[in-house]
Amino acid sequence: METRRRNIIVVLVIMLLLIVVSGCGKKEEEAAPDAINVETAVVKVMDITKYAGYSGRVKGSNEEAVMPKLSGRVTAVHVSEGQPVRQGQVIVSLDSSKLDIAVRQAEAAVASARAALAANEVQRQTALNNYNRMLELHNANAISDQALEAAKAQYDALNTGAAEAGVAQAEAALSMALQNLSDCQITSPMDGIVGRVDVKVGDMAGTQSPVAVINNTADLEVEVKVSEADISSVQDGTAVKVMIDAVGKEPLTGTVKSVASVADQVTRTYPVKVSLTNNGAAQVKSGMFAEVMLGTQHRTGVIGIPMVAVLPKSGENTVFVINGENRAQAVVVQTGLNDGSYTEITSGLQVGQRVVTRGNTLIDENSALNFVDGGIAQ
């Protein structure tokens, strides 16, 4: 009985020891630090350009607001927004009823003036014949000087050109009436796309407001106002990046078209025009907001790393470098020019080293690292 009791006690002691050992193992296992996922990049030589962003609005390189030449009520709109049009194509019609009457009146005035001219020609010829007869009689001393002068005056009165002037004036009035009638048919000034229609049937169109805007969105233009600090770096023909968020995150490539040599007197900035070819889907529309990235400084053959690898700490820039034991080592660096993605390193790093670009805010020099990119530069 005593032996059995001892055996039970021994078994309980062994079980207790196993529980204690097992618990300690779990604590040690739980105490082991987890590896932190990081990504890295290789320090390399590169060219870096610093960009300055300037905002502007996109418009067609050849864009024109169509202004009526006379005021009138809109009777028809023949186009819609986005429709291609040809130069001279009628896009809006104005009420021409009163102008039709004016044309008929002008035509009647021309007919009357021409009739008066014909009558004047008959009278002039009669007066000329009469004068010639009176001249013969005068030469024969058959009439007085006064009678000859009266015949000459009658002829001269019909030979002043007043009748011809009346015809010319009537014809000019007819031409004006016909032009006004023609101006009721408002046409496109160029080949292009209807960018906007500003009137509808029944509206009153005026000479101070456009009825439509015609543009060519295959070739676009962005005008920006550049400060005097950057204008010396901008040259005609230079390729620039153009960001249009409404289209996508990828920049489009534009070309500096012109650079003003004189500053705007109000803003003291220099207008710069950038030409831009629309993307394949013609997604860029006139009026969209654009940011033009102008290269203001450029350096070649410098040591560079992704900007995300640099951590500002206590007034210094720190980078975690991977050492030979695959551990992170904090290194203070000096930075130079940056292009928004990469930064120049003027001291602190050497070409070929690996730096942490992602996860660097979560680690220190004691952290275990898990290289999710395999340790290969991204």
Same domain flag for 75 and 198? yes
CA distance 308 to 48: 15
Percent of the chain whose predicted confidence (pLDDT) is above 90? 57
Percent above pLDDT 70 for the chain:
89
The domain of 70 spans 66-90+188-214
Residue 34, SS3 per DSSP: coil
Detail the DSSP E strand segments found in 244-366: 252-259, 270-277, 289-306, 311-313, 316-322, 328-338, 342-347, 354-358
Residues 86 and 192 in one domain: yes
Give yes or no for residue 95 having a pLDDT over 80: yes
Would you state the pLDDT for residue 30?
44
Q: Which of 275, 298, 321 is the last residue of a domain?
A: 298
Evaluate whether 127 touches 151 at the Cβ level (below 8 Å).
yes
Q: What is the pLDDT of residues 226-246, one digit of tens each?
A: 999 999 989 999 899 999 998
If asked whether residues 285 and 220 sit together in one domain, one would say yes
- Give the DSSP H or E segment for 26: helix 2-31
User: Quick one: which of 94, 62, 67 has its CA closest to 78?
Assistant: 94
Average pLDDT over residues 21-48: 72
- 104 shares its domain with 169: yes
What is the overall mean pLDDT for the chain? 87
145 and 272 co-located in one domain? no
Same domain, 101 and 176: yes
Is 169 found in the same domain as 132? yes
Kindly state whether residues 75 and 149 are assigned to the same domain.
no
> Two tokens at 335?
């930075």
Residue 268, domain CATH: 2.40.30.170
pLDDT at 271 (0 to 100): 94
Looking at the structure, do residues 74 and 200 belong to the same domain, yes or no?
yes
**Final residue of a domain: which of 196, 214, 232?**
214
- pLDDT bin (cut points 50, 70, 90) of residue 282 is low
Judgement on whether residues 110 and 224 belong to the same structural domain of the protein? no
Confidence band, pLDDT 50/70/90 cuts, at residue 102? very high
Last residue of a domain, one of 265, 298, 331: 298
Number of domains in the chain: 4
